[in-house]
Amino acid sequence: MRRLTHKWNNKRNIMSEGVYGEQPTGRVTHGLLRLSTAMRSQAWEWAEGVGLTPTQGEILVLLMQRKGPMRLGEIARETALTAATTSDAVSTLEGKGLVEKRRALDDGRALAVRLTARGRTAAKKALQWPDFLAKAVGTLKDDEQAAFYRTLLKTIHQLESQQQIPAHRMCLSCSHFQPSKNPKKTPHHCLLLQINMADTDLRLDCSVYEEADIAMQKKGWKVFAQVTCLATSRGR
Ligand code: SF4
């Protein structure tokens, strides 16, 4: 009887491995969730060490990336937080002397948030917590990193289309972007900055981004998606 129970438990353990399904979609989802668990744990470990929360750290990094004041509504949109959570986090950061609120230059009734000198120092430190992930990605070959990044860009684009994450100021939806039909031979090109770009140079948050019209975005994504499919099948 004991042996039967043991067998049954083993069988149940083996079956529970595929809790997200046995198809590639389920495996990839499971893998991403494991990464998200590691990221959450590392983010909390870092944040607790400096007396912040991961959300507060994220807001500091966002303000540093944007290099200027941001309104509360913009911060909420970019971080996909509610207005109330954003307001609470910013008030806490203000209380710690890491950000300050000022009247927005273009609208005296609105408030804009900006980093203080101490906030900039804290933001630079906050940039370091994902280092553990960068080290792991750094062990992949160049081709693997490029394929990974292309796949991530496509997944991000899909989530943006479903309005599940905020839109990014990324090359692939920018009016200055010229996608290559064969990035291994001819790089992509930015008409504004006059630079050539390999897949891994494509930006996710560009300060001089200008949104392309929908037809142009669709065309750019179509070319990029076809190239991704070709690169993936060649890699098999
Ligand atoms: S302006 Fe920025 S986002 Fe647009 S294509 Fe050039 S580098 Fe990419």
The number of CA neighbours under 13 Å toward the Cβ of 142 is: 5
11 vs 36, higher pLDDT: 36
**Residues 120 and 49 occupy one common structural domain:** yes
**Residues 119 and 145 occupy one common structural domain:** no
How far is ligand 1, taken at its centre, from the CA of residue 156, in Å?
Answer: 17
The per-residue DSSP string of 89-156 comes to HHHHHHHTTSEEEEEETTEEEEEEEEE-HHHHHHHHHHTTTTHHHHHHHHTS-HHHHHHHHHHHHHHH
Q: Is the pLDDT of residue 223 over 70?
A: yes
Q: What is the dihedral of CA 45, 51, 54, 55, to 10 degrees?
A: 170
Tell me what the pLDDT averaged over the chain comes to: 87
Q: Which of 173, 174, 180 for mutating ligand 1's site (highest number of atoms within 8 Å of CB)?
A: 174
Does 153 reside within a domain?
A: yes
Residue 184, classed as helix, strand or coil, is coil
83 vs 10, higher pLDDT: 83
Per the structure, the complete domain to which residue 164 belongs is given by: 140-235
Does 95 reside within a domain?
A: yes
Q: Which amino acid type is present at position 234?
A: R
Q: How confident is the model at residue 234 (pLDDT cuts 50, 70, 90)?
A: very low
Pull the structure tokens for residue 163.
């309005």
Residues flanking ligand 1, CB < 6 Å? 171, 174, 176-177, 190, 192-193, 203, 206, 208-209
CB atoms near residue 71 (< 10 Å): 16
pLDDT in tens, 197-219: 998 999 999 999 999 999 999 88
| pTM of the full structure | 0.80
Q: Which of 168, 192, 224 for mutating ligand 1's site (highest number of atoms within 8 Å of CB)?
A: 192
pLDDT in tens, 128-138: 999 999 999 99
How far is ligand 1, taken at its centre, from the CA of residue 137, in Å?
Answer: 24
**Residues 155 and 225 occupy one common structural domain:** yes
